[in-house]
Amino acid sequence: MNNLNVAPFVKWAGGKRQLIPQIKERMPKEFNNYFEPFVGGGAVIFELLPKKALINDINKSLINAYRQICHNSDEFIKAVNKLDAEMWEDGKKYYYEMRQHYNDKLMKSEYDVELAALFVFINKHCFNGLHRVNGKGLFNVPYNNSRRVSIDESLIRDVSAYLQGVTIVEGDFEEACKDAKKGDFIFFDSPYAPLNPTSFESYTKEGFDIESHKRLSKLFDDLTAKGCYCMLTNHNTDLINELYGGKDYKIDVVSVKRMINSDASNRVGEEVIICNY
Ligand SMILES: C[S@@+](CC[C@H](N)C(=O)[O-])C[C@H]1O[C@@H](n2cnc3c(N)ncnc32)[C@H](O)[C@@H]1O
C-alpha cells in the first residue's frame, strides 16, 4: 500500500490538504474500520490509506467517478484522454459542448464511465474547480481557458488499486455511518458553517443547513456513546462551539490560509479540529 502514489483526482472546495499534518498528529493510534462520510476530493483518505475503509458523499457524480475509477480504470483513462485530445482545436467551444453533454446525461441519470470522464474533464477545465449547479441540478460553471491534461494516468491506476479495498457509497452522512462500531474511526469534514451568518440563507449554502449541523452533532454524540473514535473539522464559529462545546470533547483551534478571500487582511482564518478521545 505504501508504494502507491495516491492523491485527489479532482479539485474540490474545502479540500483538506492544508490541515493534513494537524489531522495526522491527532489520529487515534489504532482503530478498526475507517469511515469518511463527506469524502469530497479525498485528500484525507488518500493520505492515510487505511486498509479497511468506507467513503461516502451526497454528490452522485463524484461517487460515480470513484466507482468508475475503482472498477473501470482503463476505460475511464481512455475516455478522459479522448476528451483532452478532442478539445485541442477550439477549447472554449468544446468545453461548453461537453458541459451540455454532461448535463444531458445527468438528466437521464446515466451514471457510467463516460459521465465520470466528463465530470473529471469539466472539473479540470472549469473556473476554479468549482462544483456549482442551478435549481434544476445542472452544472453551470464557465470555462477556465486551460488546455492542460485532465489526469495523471499513473495516479489514476494507483487510486484504482487502492480503492479495490474501499467500500464506496452515495447518500446522506447519517446512513453512511450506521454500521460504525466500537473501535472504528470516523473523520467528518462536512460543508462549512458560515463565518458571518447574517441571514437564515447563509446556513443553507450547499444545502447543508443549521438542521444538518445539529443532526451531525447528534450523530457525533451517538457514535461517541458507541465507543467510536470521532474527529471533526469546521470553521471556528459560534454555532460549532455551541454544538460541540461543554461536552467531553477536545476542541483545538488551528490557523489556516484562506485563498478565496480577496481581502488580504482576512486571509488567515481559524478552523477547529474536534476529537472525542
Ligand atoms: C468540505 S467538503 C469535504 C472535503 C474533503 N475533506 C476534501 O478534502 O476534499 C464536504 C462534502 O460533503 C458533501 N455533502 C454535503 N451534504 C452532505 C450530506 N448530507 N451527506 C453526505 N455528504 C454531504 C459535499 O458534496 C462535499 O463533497
210-229 pLDDT tens trace: 899 999 999 999 999 999 99
Does the pLDDT at position 199 exceed 50?
no
d(CA 67, CA 10): 14
- Which amino acid does the sequence have at 210? I
Does the pLDDT at position 200 exceed 90?
no
Domains in the chain, ordered, with CATH? 17-58+171-275 (3.40.50.150), 64-155 (1.10.1020.10)
State the sign of the Cα–Cα–Cα–Cα dihedral 182, 186, 191, 193. positive
- Give the ligand 1 atom nearest the CA of 206: 15
pLDDT score recorded for residue 206:
59
Q: Which of 55, 58, 209, 217 gets mutated to test ligand 1 (max ligand atoms within 8 A of its CB)? A: 58
**Which residue has its alpha carbon closest to ligand 1 atom 25?**
59
pLDDT score recorded for residue 16:
87
**Which residue has its alpha carbon closest to ligand 1 atom 17?**
58
pLDDT score recorded for residue 17:
87
* Confidence class for position 197, pLDDT limits 50, 70, 90: low
- Interval between CA 89 and ligand 1 midpoint (Å): 35
pLDDT score recorded for residue 261:
47
* Confidence class for position 110, pLDDT limits 50, 70, 90: very high
* 249 closest CA partner among 271, 270, 229: 229
Q: What's the rounded mean pLDDT across residues 112-123? A: 98
pLDDT score recorded for residue 259:
61
- Per DSSP bridges, beta strands 268-275 and 229-235 are antiparallel
d(CA 224, CA 177): 12
Q: What's the rounded mean pLDDT across residues 109-125? A: 98
Burial class (CB in 10 A: 0-12, 13-18, 19+), 201: exposed
pLDDT score recorded for residue 14:
80
- Interval between CA 57 and ligand 1 midpoint (Å): 6
| Ligand 1 contact, 43 CB (< 6 A) | yes
d(CA 166, CA 51): 8
| Ligand 1 contact, 172 CB (< 6 A) | yes
**Which residue has its alpha carbon closest to ligand 1 atom 18?**
172
| Ligand 1 contact, 40 CB (< 6 A) | yes
